[in-house]
Amino acid sequence: MDCLWHASVIALVLLFLGGSDANPAARRHGQLDVNHKKQPLQTSRPYNIAHRGSNGEIPEETSAAYLRAIEEGADFIETDILASKDGHLICFHDVTLENTTDIGNRTEFAARKRTYEVQGANMTGWFVVDFTLRELKSLRVKQRYDFRDQQYNWKYDILTFDEFILIALHADRVVGVYPEIKSPIFINQHVKWSGGKKFEDKFVETLLKYGYKGKYMSEDWLKKPLFIQSFAPTSLIYISNMTNAPKLLLIDETTVPTQDTNQSYYEITSNDYLTFIRKYVIGIGPWKDTIIPPENNHLGPATDLVARAHALNLQVHPYTFRNENKFLHFNFHQDPYAEYEYWVREIGVDALFTDFTGSLHKYQEWTTPHQKKEKKCRGTPA
């Protein structure tokens, strides 16, 4: 990894943000011609989505993880958006801090441990909604999994949504962003904004501030590519009146109901529901083991979910592809390239969320000249 290049880009991002102060409000970024003469987004093959950045190598959702993913060839960088106590939007996956930060060693925050109800169950920990942005910025992030490289632990802080967007905008080619409206029910319960605004309002306002707009494959979209994702269908429906940018409904495992409407997996993957939700979204993002349920770590029979979604002109972006043997089913013989080959050629998905952007990019570069089929632009207006 070119540390000097990463440092220079991070410094540039902070410069445009006006420093790393606890107020990350951007200034005049909508007028920046950041995509002038840039290499355009590739649209001829399934999208390479850097899941929380290149987090197989570097701690998730950090500046270095996203810069690494861009360096490795990501089409989109993906992030989870939550909110601080004082209403700033941050890039962080869990509603609690202990799994990936040093909060447990920070004695000044020991008394902040709380128990809240999250998606119908009590959860205890240090919650992001109990800390201001300045306090969250004082924490340092670590690798989630102990079997991954630990050398980058404690080197990076938590990013704001603004900082994340600027990393994409100042890349040397067009790189899309793929933010998730994370745990909106919980966030709206615990964080309040002036004027009665909701979490979803602040989320869309941030994207519009930087010029992210336009339907899928429109001229505006191709300049600043964006997919908005959420496990909460009501959030996606709510923002459909605020932005025409493409949206995807994330789908959890078969035992987990939707967090906002309490609908079952089988209900939201039915033809009737897919027909309804396609008025608001251009695709779905299922956990890959629900598309092909495993049996004793071998692939079982494939469901018809991809075929039914495609029949309704919906894209399918499954998650999450990981290189480690513990995540690879035996059919792939410990070979992540074989897994990519199967999902791209046999299942025909439209994008892949991966922890290892470089591996997917290499696979695509090696195989693209030999692929006979052009990518179908599902989700475009009829």
Residues 250-303 pLDDT 10s: 999 999 999 999 999 999 999 999 999 999 999 999 999 999 999 999 999 999
Pairing status of strand 114-118 against strand 121-125: antiparallel
Does residue 285 contact residue 278 with C-beta atoms inside 8 Å?
no
Residue 37 one-letter amino acid: K
Question: By C-alpha distance, which of 22, 158, 151 is closest to 97?
Answer: 158
Does residue 87 contact residue 193 with C-beta atoms inside 8 Å?
yes
Q: Would you call 152 helix, strand, or coil by DSSP?
A: coil
Q: What angle do CA 11, 8, 213 make, to 5 degrees?
A: 65
Distance CA 228, CA 232 (A): 12
pLDDT at residue 9 in the model: 52
Residue 277 forms part of a structural domain? yes
Main-chain dihedrals φ then ψ at residue 3, nearest 5 degrees: -65, -35
Residue-wise pLDDT tens digits, 161-180: 999 999 999 999 999 999 99
Question: By C-alpha distance, which of 183, 242, 234, 238 is closest to 212?
Answer: 242
Burial of residue 111 (number of CB atoms within 10 Å: 0-12, 13-18, 19+): exposed
* % residues pLDDT > 70 (the chain): 87
How many folded domains does the chain comprise?
Answer: 1
* % residues pLDDT > 90 (the chain): 86
Residue 12 forms part of a structural domain? no
Residue-wise pLDDT tens digits, 292-336: 999 999 999 999 999 999 999 999 999 999 999 999 999 999 999
Residue 63 has pLDDT above 50, yes or no: yes
Residue 241 forms part of a structural domain? yes
For residue 57, what are the β-bridge partners?
none
Query: For residue 162, what are the domain limits?
Result: 47-366
For residue 124, what are the β-bridge partners?
115
Question: By C-alpha distance, which of 233, 283, 235 is closest to 262?
Answer: 233
- Out of 25-34, 208-217, 361-370, least confident range: 25-34
CA distances from 107 to 102, 103, 111, 113 (A): 10, 8, 8, 11
Residue 219 forms part of a structural domain? yes
Does residue 213 contact residue 264 with C-beta atoms inside 8 Å?
no
Residue 298 forms part of a structural domain? yes
pLDDT at residue 15 in the model: 47
Residue 1 has pLDDT above 50, yes or no: no
pLDDT at residue 8 in the model: 47
Distance CA 228, CA 139 (A): 27
Q: Domain of 56: which CATH number?
A: 3.20.20.190
Structure-block tokens of residue 187: 């966030």
Mean pLDDT, range 213-234, rounded to an integer: 98
Residue 172 forms part of a structural domain? yes
Distance CA 182, CA 252 (A): 13
Mean pLDDT, range 91-115, rounded to an integer: 98
Residue 14 forms part of a structural domain? no
How would residue 23 be classed by pLDDT, with cut points 50, 70 and 90? Answer: very low
Scanning the chain, the segments in alpha helix (DSSP H) are: 3-17, 63-72, 133-137, 161-169, 184-190, 199-209, 219-223, 233-239, 265-268, 271-277, 288-291, 305-311, 336-341, 357-367
Residue 11 has pLDDT above 70, yes or no: no
Distance CA 140, CA 138 (A): 7
Residue with tokens 């079982």: 300
Distance CA 259, CA 230 (A): 10
Residue 38 forms part of a structural domain? no
